[in-house]
């Protein structure tokens, strides 16, 4: 083969090669600051609507989700307790719990160095931040001592764990909880991945790519894993209609973000940042009632 032909083939292969996938750490380091457009407190999750709340006021709904998690953890505020956030982001939920639990010690783990740095800075600036520890750890293998927490939760972070049954994530949560400890998972789940229309499947795959998710949890398989590990009092609450009022904020937040940061902003729009804009727009197209995804609060007690 001549040198010129080899060069042409090499150039062609480079031109047609797919770009490397964005990793979780890269995604949240680049797109993480953009969550300020969604929540001034950096609550990096959807909200929970209770009757009587103002559906046009997003931040109280985001805070209400923190309260809903706390209620299901069943922590006695009059007793000392240790609570773990599995995928803590910038620690907004930890700070919310610290305000409500004066005797609690709280720990958050995340794989993203930028989140660790930002969470520690924000904790240091709050009155209760001295009771919060943030560690750069993988929540599927934290190396933290066994049975050292009274409660653990994951808000829209368990989806990043491996596998549709989230086995490694649940094994680690089980190891870290003391007997009688509570686990709460708030996230999107699949009822079934077999009933999607081909076009909907393409949308779903694009959503996973945008949010750097390997596999969403399948609800029946996650429940089975909880039972297999001896969890009891398992409760699954489908609450997509509770989160819907906050989901309806997505178009307006996206439009405001595009105007401020894209048209008139100075930060460079990377692939991760564009993905963060696109993913929430795609989500309703594969969620109930249009698709098989449901938003649930899953709670259980360790034997």
For residue 289, what pLDDT is reported?
87
Q: How far is the CA of 102 from the CAs of 38, 147, 153, in angstroms?
A: 28, 22, 18
Q: Is residue 208 part of a domain?
A: no
CA 97 to chain centre: 17
Helix (H) or strand (E) holding 30: helix 24-31
Structure tokens at 66: 């923190």
For residue 48, what pLDDT is reported?
98
Q: Is residue 166 part of a domain?
A: yes
Q: Is residue 223 part of a domain?
A: yes
For residue 288, what pLDDT is reported?
87
Q: Is residue 7 part of a domain?
A: no
Return the number of other C-beta atoms located less than 10 Å from residue 125's C-beta. 9
Q: Is residue 259 part of a domain?
A: no
For residue 85, what pLDDT is reported?
98
Q: How many domains does the chain have?
A: 1
State which residues form the domain around 76.
Answer: 21-191+215-244+293-302
For residue 14, what pLDDT is reported?
40
Ranges under pLDDT 50 in the chain: 1-17
Q: Is residue 278 part of a domain?
A: no
**Global pTM?**
0.92
CATH number of the domain bearing residue 138: 3.40.50.150
Rounded to whole angstroms, the Cα distance separating 40 from 18 reads 36
Rounded to whole angstroms, the Cα distance separating 111 from 137 reads 5
Q: Is residue 133 part of a domain?
A: yes
CB 208 within 8 A of CB 283: no
Q: Is residue 284 part of a domain?
A: no
Tens-digit pLDDT profile for residues 211-229: 999 999 999 999 999 999 9
């Amino acid at each position: 083969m001549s040198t010129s032909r080899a060069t042409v083939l090499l150039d062609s292969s480079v031109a047609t090669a797919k770009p490397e996938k964005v990793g979780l750490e890269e995604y949240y380091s680049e797109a993480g600051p953009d969550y300020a457009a969604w929540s001034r407190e950096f609550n990096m999750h959807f909200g929970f609507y209770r009757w009587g709340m103002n559906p046009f006021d997003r931040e109280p709904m985001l805070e209400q989700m923190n309260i809903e998690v706390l209620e299901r953890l069943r922590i006695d505020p009059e007793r000392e307790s240790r609570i773990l956030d599995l995928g803590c982001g910038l620690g907004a939920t930890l700070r919310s719990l610290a305000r409500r639990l004066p005797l609690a010690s709280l720990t958050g783990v995340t794989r993203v160095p930028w989140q660790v740095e930002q969470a520690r800075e924000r904790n240091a600036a709050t009155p209760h931040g001295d009771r919060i520890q943030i560690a750069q750890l993988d929540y599927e293998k934290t190396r933290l001592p066994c049975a050292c927490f009274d409660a653990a939760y994951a808000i829209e972070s368990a989806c990043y764990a491996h596998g549709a049954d989230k086995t490694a994530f649940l094994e680690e949560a089980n190891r870290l909880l003391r007997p009688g400890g509570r686990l709460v998972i708030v996230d999107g789940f699949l009822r079934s991945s077999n009933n999607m229309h081909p076009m909907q499947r393409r949308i779903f795959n694009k959503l996973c790519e945008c949010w750097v998710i390997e596999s969403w949890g399948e609800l029946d398989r996650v429940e089975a894993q909880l039972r297999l590990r001896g969890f009891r009092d398992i409760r699954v609450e489908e609450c997509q209609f509770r989160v819907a009022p906050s989901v309806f904020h997505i178009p307006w937040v996206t439009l405001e973000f595009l105007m401020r940061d894209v048209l008139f902003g100075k930060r460079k729009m990377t692939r991760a940042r564009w993905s963060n804009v696109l993913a929430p727009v795609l989500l309703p197209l594969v969620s109930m009632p249009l698709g098989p995804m449901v938003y649930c609060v899953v709670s259980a007690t360790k034997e």
